[in-house]
Amino acid sequence: MSMLFIIVAALLLLGPLIAIHEFGHFWVARRLGVKVLVYSIGFGPTLLQWVSKKSGIQYRLAAFPLGGYVRMLDEREGDVPKDQLHLAFNRQSPWKRIAIVAAGPLINLLLAMVLFWILYLPASEQLNTRIGKIIEQSPAAQVDLRVGDQITAIDQQATPTWEKLNYALLARMGETGTVNVTVDRQGQVLDKQLPIQNFVKDQKQSPLQSLGFLPYQPSIPPILGQISADGAAAHQGMQIGDKITAIDGKPVTDWYEVVEIIRASPEKLLKFTVLRDGQSLELNVMPQARKDAMGIETGFIGAGIQAQNFKIPDAYLMKIQYSPVEALYMAADKTWQLSVMTLNGIVKMIRGLIGLDNLSGPITIAK
């Protein structure tokens, strides 16, 4: 991902969020009788400026839109005429000042809830929380979790979707102990205690990979259908139509296996065995290193699979249709979950359980 792309994404995504955040302060301040002097989107030199003849407010667009501010009348920042003292921010009651300061974050939360509500309205078909794969020698394998088990709760918290399940696991980030996984196995309810140690603190694996169970994934033959001209695969002679049969001598039959090995091997030489026109060839390819959206370094070779048609078994699917009221509840719940998860992460960072890399800041959001 290029730096230019990150900068453009930051401008397009964070700019409007900042404008809305500052508008929250601006709107509540005016409703509560505080005089606003400047409403600025961005910092640095002013590019555009307009002064309202009615209110006298200066509206500005500055050169660096990764920020903004609302300047209010305040005795601490300059002299205030006696006839305008009642309009100064510092002269307001505590509850008014709290409301003005809190309005920015609250309007961002409200915006998030509205957007989530829109996303929850359409009917959808999703994977249910039935386990599709158990990783060998993982905590899940050790406690006899099985393919087909449906996970119903994590630490007694209901997990009707994989999203809810991931939130419940992320709440344990950085911790050591056990995670209680409740499953439904053909009508029998079982509780399994999976050991964790500094859970996903190093971010080398996702929470699901760390515990060793994954959602259903269709079996996709590892036949190359796309080759990037500037990728490691092209440089080492891989071609469209090649079928990868082994990596470092280990047989592979599924594209997901190939992806996992490549992602886990940045700048590590791998020996690929491929089948081309009936002949078996060996190609040495070193995956290039890059960081994903969460800042984790992963490998990639610049190759993709051939288009495949597949059907997911009905046992792994569920249909979801929320009413407008139900969708609003789901949106509010998701906004709450994300807020709690962020605050929980900050607390754990202060306690030293996780590092800065485990928290997604503005630049990570832009990525």
CATH superfamily of 133-214: PDZ domain (2.30.42.10)
Encode pLDDT of 172-190 as tens digits: 888 899 999 999 999 999 9
β-strands 243-247, 270-276 pairing: antiparallel
- Helix or strand (DSSP H, E) at 199: none
Mean pLDDT of the chain: 87
Provide mean pLDDT across the span 211-228.
Answer: 92
Q: Which residue is associated with the tokens 């515990």?
A: 211
The 10 Å Cβ neighbour count of residue 185 is 14
Q: Which residues are catalytic?
A: 22
Which segments of the chain belong to CATH 2.30.42.10? Answer: 133-214, 224-305
Assigned superfamily of 224-305: PDZ domain (2.30.42.10)
Q: What is the reported pLDDT for 367?
A: 37
Element (H, E) at 251: strand 250-251
pLDDT in tens, 276-295: 999 999 999 999 998 765 56
The total of other beta-carbon atoms located within 10 Å of residue 339's CB is: 13
Cβ-Cβ contacts under 8 Å for 46 (sequence gap 6 or more): 40, 60, 61, 62, 63
Q: What is the pTM of this model?
A: 0.69
Q: CA angle, corner 327, sides to 321 and 332, nearest 5?
A: 150
pLDDT, position 202 = 65
Q: Which of 3-7, 240-244, 347-351 is least confident?
A: 3-7
